[in-house]
Amino acid sequence: MSRADFSVELRPKLVGKRIKRTEDPRLLAGVGRYVDDMNPQGTVHVAVRRSDQPHARIVGVDVGDALSVPGVVAIYEAADIEGEVNPAIPSSRMPGYYATPIWPLARGKVRYVGEPVVAVVAESRYAAEDALEHISIQYDPLPFAIRQVDAVEDDAPLLHEEAGTNVIIKREFKRGDVDSVIASAPVTVKGRFRMTRKTAVAMENRTYLAEWDARRQSLTLHTSSGSPGIIRDVLSDCLDLPATRLRVVAPDVGGSFGAKGSLYNEEMLVCILARKLGRPVKFTSDRLEDLSATSQAWDELIDAELAVDTDGTMLGLRADVIGDIGAFAIYPWTAALEPVQVVSFLPGPYRMEHYRGRIRGVLTPKPPTGPYRGVGRPSSTFAMERLVDMAARKLGMDPVEFRRRNLVRDEEFPYRTASGIIWDKSAFQDCLKGACDHADYPALTQERTAARAAGRWVGIGLASYAELTGIGSRISVAPGMPINTGTETSRIEIDSTGSVTAAFGVASHGQGLETTLAQIIVDEMGCKLEDILVQHGDSALVPMSTGTYASRSAVLGGGAAILAARAVKAKVLRAAAYLMEQDVADLDMHEGVISSRTSNLTLTLKEVATAVYKQMGRIPLEQRDDLVASETYDPFLGTACSSTHLAMVEVDPDTYGVRILRYVVAEDCGKIINPMIVDGQVHGAVAQGIGAALLEEIVHDDQGQAVTASLADYLVPVATNVPDIGIVHVEADLPANVGGFRGMGEGGTIGAPAAVANAVADALAHLGVSVETLPITPERIFRLLERRSDS
């Protein structure tokens, strides 16, 4: 047996197994620790008086009898903290971009309903809320344009006068001569597509607790964030506080979906007030505040046109997009995050020689748009996949066959898209086939035919997409943003008892990272799973981290774990080789036991650690090495992840309600670390995508007021909305990154809206209507049919 074979035989293989999540015992037993569980002695609480105006000058603040409310400690407006904080600037190198400054409280004027204006600090949240009732704010209303189509006009009222325009970002991607191609194409289809505003409805509302240590002149912020490293770095600048005296910790976090990955006004606020008062200061958002002041998502208006040949070959695509970015660019992702990704990913997994995509990001008096599961790709996939189905229908071609002819083929990888994205390699064609085979597509079409013959409105929809995951330093999540999102660090150390501690900059908010990262380390190092402690969510653990977003944790965090585990294992085996008087090449470790191929000698990891740390002199000084390693991984580029979703739906002709009858996902996420966790991610993301397709919508009326600011109005999926989901794992050729992993946490949200939209459009095709706006609610279906009958 060769040494390589021996090594493979001894190493356990936890990657690929359905290991129960190691974090679940504490979470299921109700002993998880969230920010709101923390109440250090002397804690005071903040309640925030928010703007009820979409755009207005602040004339004056009258606190009335608020200070006389028992328990009230202090009341602050922007002038009271002037000079104690610098604004956060979501800067970018993009030409013509304007970075709106972010302050903890509104200064001079307000720009959306829900913007923080006055902060009340009290001994309890109840007292702080009571005091708010005594405060009145006098406003001088200003004109505004609530809709993006109005805000882009040259004569629209300006939200930020210093910008000189509401359009603070423009970008164009192009290849070929798309105008000529579309003008001469035998078949064209076009539409105006829109996914309306959404918001993340995490189980845990946003919560922040800041503690000031007067002795050390240091600050600790506990935050429900997915990016504690980002928050630490920006607050260091905002507070003029060295990072050595600023620690940001994200304990257990009850969901994020991207919305907890940015800096918020209230995070800045509690830090300023804790330093000012010398007491712990806590803010916990209520559900109304979360719905009206947490960053929101999507809200792009996409005018797109696709040209195809008579044989179904795609010829060219063009699109003009207006992205509604709300009243501020968001830190650190900038105003470019969402709209730029729409046009860069619009061609999707298809061959496309001629393309032009233009975006304008426009300020409107609404909460800022920011990261949300899928970022840009749900909207681009919705528009592209609707065009695909529209073209197939116009040609009289089966939509599966149309996709098969145009998806990038295996032999064409690596493939550079018309917008410049490089798909390294992924199972575009195999995912389409896998979904159709699992659902038995021919039988499904026969079932649809029989249902329609019986008078039922039944339709089938597909959506194929590709996304770039685990991106390295060569590519930024948003162009020109102020942070590097392309590296990740892991520090692994073995202590004197043989226990393993692995520290990461990535932060879990429900993905099961404590389990999956431990599985990776076990496979690389050969220790026992129960001996590993995975630490994360603390800016003090590693020198630099940006956190968890953009489907990066498995690729970058896992890659860093592999490199660090290999480095530590090499140190263990060198020490063991000296102690055992063996050639290091003949040793390997399995379940924490080092053994030799050439003898029956063994040592436990604990014995090696004891010799290294406690039995001084047993290993010569020049050969002794602490069992510690820190490694940073940078994949440089990213790797493609792809999927095809298939949905079968039925529309009730009386209520226009939509019921999902069948749902299948076939996805390629590279080497699967834990199939159980992957399945859970797919299930949750598809449920969220179904919500986007059928239910969820933030609505602002003409007066700029959010009329969906409660869960009675903002509807999210419940168990009865979500069908059984068939999942097909396609493990094609693995990517070249360390570990062979692809990101997959966002895929369900990307593919589901488009698949459901296409299925509903198919179900309604006989009525002559098209689905171009999501969510496709019963009211929207009614309006579509009403307009059709009127015409």
- DSSP per-residue codes, 752-778: HHHHHHHHHHHHHGGGT----EES--H
**Lowest mean pLDDT segment, chosen from 4-8, 89-93, 154-158:** 4-8
Mean pLDDT of 589-595: 95
The answer to whether domain 3-32+487-633 and domain 377-469+638-790 are alike in fold is yes
Res 453: pLDDT: 97
Res 102: pLDDT: 97
377-469+638-790 adopts what CATH topology?
A: Aldehyde Oxidoreductase; domain 4 (3.30.365)
Question: What band does 481 get if pLDDT is binned at 50, 70 and 90?
Answer: confident
Res 472: pLDDT: 87
For domain 35-142+205-253+260-293, is the CATH number 3.90.1170.50?
A: yes
Mean pLDDT of 2-23: 68
Question: What band does 791 get if pLDDT is binned at 50, 70 and 90?
Answer: low
pLDDT at position 66 over 90: yes
Res 480: pLDDT: 79
pLDDT in tens, 347-405: 999 999 999 999 999 999 999 999 999 999 999 999 999 999 999 999 999 999 999 99
Give me the chain's average pLDDT, please: 95
pLDDT at position 227 over 60: yes
Mean pLDDT of 727-754: 91
pTM, full prediction:
0.95
pLDDT in tens, 100-152: 999 999 999 999 999 999 999 999 999 999 999 999 999 999 999 999 999 99
Mean pLDDT of 2-25: 70
pLDDT in tens, 678-725: 999 999 999 999 999 999 999 999 999 999 999 999 999 999 889 999
pLDDT at position 411 over 50: yes
Which is it for strands 44-50 and 281-284: parallel, antiparallel or unpaired? parallel
DSSP structural state of residue 501: E
Res 476: pLDDT: 80
User: How would you write 676-725 as a 3-class SS string?
Assistant: HHHHHHHHHHHHHHHHHHHCCCCCECCCCCECCCCCCCCCCCCHHHCCCC
Res 6: pLDDT: 41
Mean pLDDT of 77-94: 95
How far lies 322's CA from each of 148, 175, 696, 735, in Å?
7, 20, 21, 34
Q: Where are the domains positioned within the chain?
A: 3-32+487-633, 35-142+205-253+260-293, 377-469+638-790
pLDDT at position 5 over 90: no
pLDDT at position 12 over 60: no
Which is it for strands 187-195 and 773-774: parallel, antiparallel or unpaired? parallel
pLDDT over 70, % of the chain: 98
pLDDT at position 560 over 70: yes
Element (H, E) at 620: none
Residues 469 and 658 sit within 8 Å (Cβ to Cβ) = no
Residue 129 to residue 106: CA distance in whole angstroms: 19
Short-list 535, 521, 513, 472, CA closest to 745: 513
Judged by phi (left if over 0) then psi (alpha if -120 to 50, else beta), residue 420 lies in left
In CATH terms, 3-32+487-633 corresponds, of 3.40.50.300, 3.30.365.10, 3.30.70.20, 3.30.750.24, to 3.30.365.10
User: How would you write 219-243 as a 3-class SS string?
Assistant: EEEEECCCCHHHHHHHHHHHCCCCH
pLDDT over 90, % of the chain: 90
Res 1: pLDDT: 31
Omega prior to 414 cis, within 30 of 0: yes
Identify the residue with better confidence: 688 or 479: 688
Mean pLDDT of 181-197: 98
Instruction: For residue 447, give the 3-state DSSP assignment.
Output: helix
pLDDT at position 9 over 50: no
pLDDT at position 471 over 60: yes
pLDDT in tens, 249-302: 999 999 999 999 999 999 999 999 999 999 999 999 999 999 999 999 999 999
Q: Which residues pair with 647 in a beta bridge?
A: 461, 663
Res 484: pLDDT: 84
